[in-house]
Amino acid sequence: MLPYGRQSISAEDIEAVAEILRGDWLTTGPAVTAFEAAVGDLAGGHRAVSTTSGTSALHTAYAGIGLGPGDEVVTTPMTFVATASTASILGATIVFADVEEDTALLDPAAVEPLVTERTKVVAAVDYAGHPADYSALQPLADRVGALTLADAAHSIGGTSAGRPIGDLADATTFSFFPTKNLTTGEGGAAVFKDDALARRAHEFHFIGLVRDPARFRLPDEGPWHQEVHELGLNYRLTDIACALGLAQLRRLEEFKRRRAEIVARYNAAFAEVAGVRTPVQRAGVDPVWHLYPLRVLEGRRREIFEKMRADGIGVQVNYIPVYWHPVYADAGYRRGLCPNAEAFYAEELSLPLFPDLTDSQVDQVVESVVRALR
CA distances from 244 to 72, 216, 256, 353 (A): 36, 35, 18, 21
Kind plus residue range of the DSSP H or E element containing 201: helix 195-204
- Closest listed residue to residue 323, CA positions, set 313, 331, 333, 311: 333
Cis link prior to 127 (omega < 30° from 0)? no
CB of 219 to ligand PLP, least distance (A): 38
Number of H helices, E strands in the chain: 13, 15
Interface characters, 132-151, with ligand PLP (x: CB under 6 A) = -------------------x
Nearer of residues 175 and 350 to ligand PLP, judged by Cβ: 175
DSSP string over 269-301: HHTT-TTEEPPP--TTEE-----EEEEE-TT-H
Return the residue of 78, 106, 153, 362 that touches ligand PLP, per CB under 6 A.
Answer: 153
* Cβ closest to ligand PLP, residue 80 vs residue 270: 80
Spatial distance between the Cα atoms of 145 and 260, rounded to a whole number of angstroms: 37
Minimal CB distance to ligand PLP: which residue? 54
Contact between 59 and ligand PLP by CB under 6 A: the answer reads no
Which residues have CB under 8 Å from 232's CB, separation 6+?
Answer: 63, 203, 204, 205, 206, 207, 208, 209
129 binds ligand PLP (CB under 6 A): no
Q: Partners of 144 in the beta sheet?
A: none
Query: Contact between 172 and ligand PLP (CB under 6 A)?
Result: no
- Binding string to ligand PLP for residues 29 to 58, with x set by CB under 6 A, is what? ------------------------xxx---
Nearer to ligand PLP, 172 or 368 (CB): 172
Q: How far is the CB of 210 from ligand PLP (least distance, A)?
A: 27
Write phi, then psi, for 282 (nearest 5 degrees). -70, 155
Q: What's the closest the beta carbon of residue 187 comes to ligand PLP, in angstroms?
A: 7
Query: Is residue 348 close enough to count as binding ligand PLP by CB under 6 A?
Result: no
Closest CB to ligand PLP among residues 322, 372: 322
Size of site (CB under 6 A) for ligand PLP: 14
Cβ pair 140, 122 in contact under 8 A: yes
Residues numbered 77-106 forming contacts with ligand PLP, rule: CB under 6 A: 79-80, 82-83
Name which position in 131, 166, 178, 188 contacts ligand PLP (CB under 6 A): 188
Q: How far is the CB of 195 from ligand PLP (least distance, A)?
A: 24
Segment near ligand PLP (CB under 6 A), from 76-84, 96-104, 194-202, 299-307? 76-84
Task: Candidates 75-83, 155-163, 198-206, 320-328: pick the segment binding ligand PLP (CB under 6 A).
Answer: 75-83
CA dist., res. 341 & res. 319, Å (int)? 9
Of 259 and 307, CB closest to ligand PLP: 259
Q: Rg (Cα) of the chain, in Å, rounded?
A: 21
Answer for the pair 285, 158: CB distance below 8 angstroms, yes or no: yes
CA–CA dist 351, 135 (Å, integer): 30
DSSP secondary structure letter of residue 215: G
In the complex, minimum distance from the CB of residue 300 to ligand PLP, in angstroms, rounded to a whole number: 25
Minimum distance from CB of 126 to ligand PLP (Å)? 8
Binding positions for ligand PLP, rule: CB under 6 A:
53-55, 79-80, 82-83, 125, 151, 153-154, 175, 177, 188
